Structure 1
Amino acid sequence: CNLPPKPIGMQDLNILVFFFSFSGVHFNSQAIAPTIEQIDQSFGATHPGVYNATEQLFHLNFRGLSFSFQLDSWTEAPKYEIPHGATVKRMYIYTGNSLQDTRAPAMPLSCYLGNVYAESVDVLRDATGPSGLRLRLLTAGSGPGVLSDAKMRVFERCIYFGDSCQDVLSALGSPHKVFYKAEDKMKIHSPSPHKQVPSRCNDYFFNYFTLGVDILFDVSTHQVKKFVLHTNYPGHYNFNIYYHCDFKIPLTVKRDSADCQAEMCTLTSYSKWDSIHELLGHPTEKPVVLHRSSSPNNTNPFGSTFCFGLQKKIQKVMQNNHIASVTLYGLPKPSNQLRAAEPTQ
């Protein structure tokens, strides 16, 4: 499901019914307590530990593994000797050299299976607002030879408001699914919904699940009119349908003073809504409450989400302040001129 990278944490190993071993030597079982001496015997030498006086924890770090021991007090010995008698309070399993710099491991090439994934998505903007997306894409290179000879291919593609279906297909390939919109239930919030001419056909989405992106096309012009970027956080109705879209959206922060120039900040897929609207100011209107269910007889166990409109974007916010998705609107641009300025990939 491509969630944000997080280490695996376990607490109180001595009361958990787990058996842990390293190189065939158990360091936690019903007969073996995970003491600091046992950890030292099982894993061998490492760098000196670090004592956190605030948490009263002594941290012992290995590559990809960290142990925390409960110590009420500890005075560092001249020869960096480890304290004796303490048992493991917490254990963290992660990828990398340290817990602070952990990153999600790269996906093996054998798992790509012909799909294209987005490493990052940058929102392009001009003086009027968002103008399109720049996607940094990853795929397993195709060519003669066996799968073990495949190489990682990294390339960039740009999609703009006003691009045609052919432009998008040429840049990103075929979508995983084409979804035709049903009746627009947000039409009631329009200033004059009764004046809107009903259409015989519906706008349609290109769903790119491995990119975490939806692209909406106008049924009359067949041009891009909306982008939807999904974060795939647990607790949302669409969880585990899309891969996590690691987007970055530049925002304009206006200051109260007329002499101060507007500053820029960045909205990312990891940002929380309360920190964003503190910078940008509270929305002038209350949010639209969205409660989804798969059928009239079903209930949505994830609860409602709240839609806030700000700077030509709609942020769909969950009850825990995480952003579930961001919808971008913009005016069609002369994409042929924009593409002429792009470097050849």
Structure 2
Amino acid sequence: MLDLEVVPERSLGNEQWEFALGMPLAQAISILQKHCRIIKNVQVLYSEQTPLNHDLILNLTQDGIKLLFDATNQRLKIDVMCVCVCVCFSGVHFNSQAIAPTIEQIDQSFGATHPGVYNAAEQLFHLNFRGLSFSFQLDSWNEAPKYEPNFAMGLASLQIPHGAMVKRMHIYTGNNLQETRAPVMPLACFLGNIFAESVDVLRDGAGPLGLKLHLLTAGCGPGVMADAKVRSLERSIYFGDSCQDVLGALGSPHKVFYKSEDKMKIHSPSPHKQVPSKCNDYFFNYFTLGVDILFDSATHLVKKFVLHTNYPGHYNFNIYHRCDFKIPLVIKKGETLISCLLNCPLTFLLLCQWDQIQELLGHPMEKPVVLHRSSSANNTNPFGSTFCFGLQRMIFEVMQNNHIASVTLYGAHRTTSQARPESSSSSH
């Protein structure tokens, strides 16, 4: 049995690991992978057709623990536990092989709280503390009528019967389990990384110019606890920026990936006329930002950006954190050009679906490119192919459920002698 400590409104864990409320999905999965010999039989549960309408769940079936992640920001919002593991509070166990989690034991461990609430549909009593709630099962179905609201002038339903056992426990933020939200990411989850709070796509009338990143970071290295606060930064990266520009703005990437082939080369105007390059273009992968930056192998200047939504059911799921990107769009209505904002996924959720984007931008003139992904030539992708559509110097990768898996931005080439867009516009 796992031996875990409960901290209301904060976490469930032990000395080796901790599932903290507000933790990114990727970090929770990393803990499970690291301790796979102890924590076994983990399921990933999500809605395939409407992934934004339902929580994303990591179900630890062997240990009776469910981790519920907010569908939009993919941060942990609720720990649900069926009490089949050893659990303590402030160092004192209230459930173990020797201690049964009865109502008397919970009262002794946690102290007084408001009266219990009886749910007739579930036939469960709910006892609520701040950031923590317990559900108690009746001993038999025959006891249920005693606790209906119309019995004993409604007061009987407030009294949890003696000896009632805890069926499950919830850890969450705030006073109301039904209204709880994933809190901001705690300091302990930064681990020296930088995260993107949001990413704005900068553009002119022709198309994208670059990215403006709103970043969050916490102190790292010596004195990290002394500098226990989150700092906000803004950094801008443009097409044509050099490697040094990007490294100076964002720091070192998590990985550098060299392209071995260009699968889209066949769709260029004259692929047979292109001279094979002696070196390969390469990506800077910033996994915690949800962003890839492609550099030209000859000039070492930025030529593309890739923004990832990290939907479950996509081949690259859990490699990147979700990128909350905003793209200003230029829409033609009759003879009038209208500017609006494409925000994926936190404000206008419907605009994350391809049908709604086409209603704004119009339908692509060409058929989509079908993108197959597999780790080797003999492997199959269990999630199926995706479709790539090009509009306004952007390539939308669309999953089979109509949601956007990624957006690739490409811009006009800029040489090192040309000024950055921000500096040229500021001179006017």
TM-score tier after normalising by the smaller chain length = 0.7 to 0.9
1:330 corresponds in structure 2 to 411
Take 2:425 and 2:113, find their aligned partners in 1: how far apart are those partners? 53
Q: Deviations over 1:136-170 (max 9, x none)?
A: 33444479x64433454432211012222232222
The code of the aligned residue for 2:308 comes to H
The answer as to 2:306 corresponding to 1:228 is: yes
The answer as to 2:221 corresponding to 1:168 is: no
Of the candidates 183, 188, 210, which is equivalent to residue 103 of structure 1? 183
Take 1:87 and 1:254, find their aligned partners in 2: how far apart are those partners? 60
Q: Deviations over 1:213-250 (max 9, x none)?
A: 211122344321211123444444334433x1432223
2:100 corresponds in structure 1 to 32
The code of the aligned residue for 2:94 comes to H
Take 1:34 and 1:318, find their aligned partners in 2: how far apart are those partners? 48
1:309 corresponds in structure 2 to 390
Deviation at 1:103, TM superposition (A): 1.6
1:272–1:193 CA distance, 2 compared to 1 (3 A): farther
1:17–1:337 CA distance, 2 compared to 1 (3 A): closer
Take 1:127 and 1:330, find their aligned partners in 2: how far apart are those partners? 12
Asked whether the equivalents of residues 330 and 337 of structure 2 are also in contact (C-alpha less than 8 Å), the reply is no
The code of the aligned residue for 1:296 comes to A
Relative to the length of structure 2, the TM-score reads 0.61
**Correspondences of 1:102-141 after superposition (within 5 Å):** 102-108=182-188, 111-112=191-192, 115-141=193-219
Take 1:59 and 1:313, find their aligned partners in 2: how far apart are those partners? 51
Of the candidates 294, 300, 305, which is equivalent to residue 375 of structure 2? 294
Deviation at 1:267, TM superposition (A): 1.9
Of the candidates 80, 96, 109, which is equivalent to residue 10 of structure 1? 80
The code of the aligned residue for 1:304 comes to S
Deviation at 1:5, TM superposition (A): 1.0
Structure 1 counterpart SS, 2:246? helix
Deviation at 1:98, TM superposition (A): 4.6
Relative to the length of structure 1, the TM-score reads 0.73
Of the candidates 59, 62, 82, which is equivalent to residue 129 of structure 2? 62
Deviation at 1:327, TM superposition (A): 1.5
Q: Which runs of 5+ in 2 are unaligned?
A: 1-22, 26-73, 138-143
1:310–1:29 CA distance, 2 compared to 1 (3 A): farther
Deviation at 1:55, TM superposition (A): 8.0
1:209–1:260 CA distance, 2 compared to 1 (3 A): closer
Of the candidates 82, 85, 97, which is equivalent to residue 158 of structure 2? 82
**Correspondences of 1:34-49 after superposition (within 5 Å):** 39=106, 42-46=109-113
Deviation at 1:18, TM superposition (A): 3.2
Asked whether the equivalents of residues 93 and 99 of structure 2 are also in contact (C-alpha less than 8 Å), the reply is no
- Give the superposed CA RMSD: 4.4
Structure 2 counterpart SS, 1:266? strand
2:326 corresponds in structure 1 to 249
Q: Deviations over 1:85-114 (max 9, x none)?
A: 5876653323455542332532328821xx
Asked whether the equivalents of residues 273 and 323 of structure 1 are also in contact (C-alpha less than 8 Å), the reply is no
1:183 corresponds in structure 2 to 261
Structure 1 counterpart SS, 2:244? helix
Take 1:277 and 1:45, find their aligned partners in 2: how far apart are those partners? 52
Take 1:17 and 1:148, find their aligned partners in 2: how far apart are those partners? 35
Take 2:176 and 2:273, find their aligned partners in 1: how far apart are those partners? 60
1:162–1:312 CA distance, 2 compared to 1 (3 A): same
The code of the aligned residue for 1:26 comes to F
Structure 2 counterpart SS, 1:281? helix
Structure 2 counterpart SS, 1:222? coil
Identity %: 58
Structure 1 counterpart SS, 2:187? coil
Q: Deviations over 1:182-235 (max 9, x none)?
A: 221122233543344443333222222343321112234432121112344444
Take 2:135 and 2:389, find their aligned partners in 1: how far apart are those partners? 42
Asked whether the equivalents of residues 203 and 216 of structure 1 are also in contact (C-alpha less than 8 Å), the reply is yes
Take 2:126 and 2:241, find their aligned partners in 1: how far apart are those partners? 54
Structure 2 counterpart SS, 1:149? coil
More off after superposition, 301-310 vs 47-56: 47-56
Asked whether the equivalents of residues 24 and 185 of structure 2 are also in contact (C-alpha less than 8 Å), the reply is no
Take 1:289 and 1:78, find their aligned partners in 2: how far apart are those partners? 62
Aligned length: 334
Deviation at 1:57, TM superposition (A): 7.5
